Amino acid sequence: MQDTWLQDTQLGKKPREGFSSSVGVIAATLGSAVGLGNIWKFPYVTGQNGGAAFILIYLIAALLISAPIMLSELMIGRKTHANAVGAFKTLAKHEPWFLVGVSGVISSFLIMAFYSCVAGWVFSYVFKAVAGTIESTSPQQTFAVFQTLVNGVGEPLFWQLFVLAFTGTIIMAGVSKGIERVTKALMPILFVLLLIVDIRSLTLPGASQGLKFLFQPDFSKISISVILAALGLAFFKLSVGMGTMTTYGSYMGENENLPKTVLTVMLSDTLVSIMAGIAIFPAVYAFGFKPDAGPSLLFITIPTVFSSMPFGRFFMILFFILVAVAATGAILSLLEVPVAYIVEEYKISRRMATLGTIMAIALVGSTATLSTTLLSQMHIFGKNFFDLYDFVTSNILLPLGGIFFAIFVGWRWGFEDMFEVFSNHGRLKNEGLARIYFILVKFFAPVAIALVLLTGLGFIQF
C-alpha cells in the first residue's frame, strides 16, 4: 500500500485507504471466507457424502479451482487498487469486462438479502441462549421456538435490521479502522470458542460415533454429482466469483505475497469447517440425535443437544456467539463490494454509501425474511424470494463470475502482465507456481466451472 499512498500523495490525490498489515490482510480475507457455510453446510455435506473421502475431493476442488479464482480476483484488485467495476474499467478500457464487476455488485446485494436474514436468526439465538428460552431437551419445544421466530414478522425483521446496522457501523468506520480492526479481533475469538466447544463435544461419552459420521472415508459414495457438489461448495466457501476478493485485493499492499495469502486462507477456512464438524456431530450423536441439514440442525437440533449436556447453557451461548462472529466477517466483505463501488464510481461519501446500501438491502432482504409468511404466495420460477436469491447467486451468478475472472486472466490479461502482479514485480521467485496457476485459470477452471453451472441448471445430468 505504501507505494500507492506515496504515488497518490505526489499526484495530489487523497490517499486511498487499505489494510495496514499482513495479519490484517489474512484476518479480513479469512473473515470473508469463514461464514455460515462452515457451520451448517460443510460439516453436513461432508457427513452425507463420504466423510474423509469428500474432504479430500473438496480440498482438490478448492486447490485447483476456487483458490486460483480467488488469486485472480486478488491480483486484479491489487493491480488496479479499485472496486470490482472500476478494476475492469482500468484494465480493459471501453470493453464490456466491467460487466463482470457489475454482476459482482448485484450478487453481493442478493446474497446479502438472504444471508442477513439467517444472520438475524443467529443473533437472536445469542440472546435467546442467554435468556434461556431455547434451553430445552425436547426437539418439539426448540422446533416451536424456531417456528415462532421465522413465522413472525416484526421479530425476524428487527434482527435483520440489527445485523445490517451492526455491520454497517463497522463498514462506516473504514477499511483498516473498521473491517481490518474488527476481523483481527474476531478471528482469534472464533478459533478459541471453536476449540472450547470442540473439547466439550469430544469429551462427551459416545462422541466417537459422530467422529465416524464426519470422518470415516467411504469412497463408494463418491460420484460425479458428489464431485460437483464439492466444487460448488468450494466456490461459495471461499467467497469467489462476485468481486469480494477483487475489492479486498484492492486494499492489499505491493509487498503482500498473494499466492501465499490464498493458500493460508483456504487451508485455515477448511480447518474451521472441520472444527465446526467436530463441535457439532459428536455432541449430536452422544445424545442420540440424527444429524440434519441446514436450519433444523443449527436452530433446532443444536439447542436441544446443548441443553442435554452439563453446563449446556454456557456452551450454547458460546456456540451461537461463534456463529454470529463467523457471519459478521462474511457480511462485512459482502457489504464492502457495493460500498466501494458507490464511493469510487459516484464519488459519494463512505457514510452515505453505506447508509444507502444497508437501506436498500433491508428493503430487498425483507422480501427474503417474509418469504414464508406475508409473501408466501409470491413465487418466481417456482421459488419464494429467499430461495430465489440463493439459487440465482449460488447456481448462476457466482459460477458465471468465476468463469469470467478465470478467462480474463488467462486470455485477456496474459501471462506477462499477470506475472508482474503474481511475483510482486519479480521480487518473489515463483515463476513455476505461476505457470501452474496460469494453466489452471486458462483451461481447467473455466471448463470445470462450466460443468458445475450446467449441471446445477439441469442442462447436464449425471
By CB under 6 A, name the binding residues for ligand PHE.
32-33, 35-38, 111, 236-237, 239, 242, 244, 330, 333-334
Min. distance of Cβ 316 from ligand PHE in angstroms?
21
The residue of the chain with the least Cβ separation from ligand PHE equals: 35
Q: Which residue, 388, 407, 392, 409, is CA-closest to 448?
A: 407
Contact 14, 182 (CB under 8 A): no
Q: Residue 424 CB, nearest distance to ligand PHE (Å)?
A: 26
Nearer to ligand PHE, 27 or 207 (CB): 27
**248 or 285: whose CB is closer to ligand PHE?**
248
Q: Cα–Cα distance between 5 and 18 in angstroms, integer?
A: 9
Which CB atom, from 67 or from 286, has the smaller least distance to ligand PHE?
A: 67
**Residue from 297, 265, 219 nearest 43 by CA:** 297
User: 276 or 309, CB closer to ligand PHE?
Assistant: 276
Of 307 and 394, which has the nearer Cβ to ligand PHE?
394
Phi, psi of 16 (to 5 degrees): -80, 140
In whole angstroms, how close is the CB of 38 to ligand PHE at the nearest point? 6
Sequence length of the chain is 462
Smallest separation (angstroms) from ligand PHE to the CB of 267: 15
DSSP letter (8 states) at residue 223:
-
Closest contact distance (angstroms) between CB of 8 and ligand PHE is 28
Nearer to ligand PHE, 204 or 321 (CB): 321
CB of 397 to ligand PHE, least distance (A): 10
**Range 236-258 burial, b when 16+ CB lie within 10 A, else e:** bbbbbbbbbbbbbbbbbbeebbb
- Sign of CA pseudo-dihedral 130, 132, 143, 380: negative
Residue at 375: amino acid letter: L
- Comparing CA positions, the residue from 447, 8, 29 lying closest to residue 238 is 29
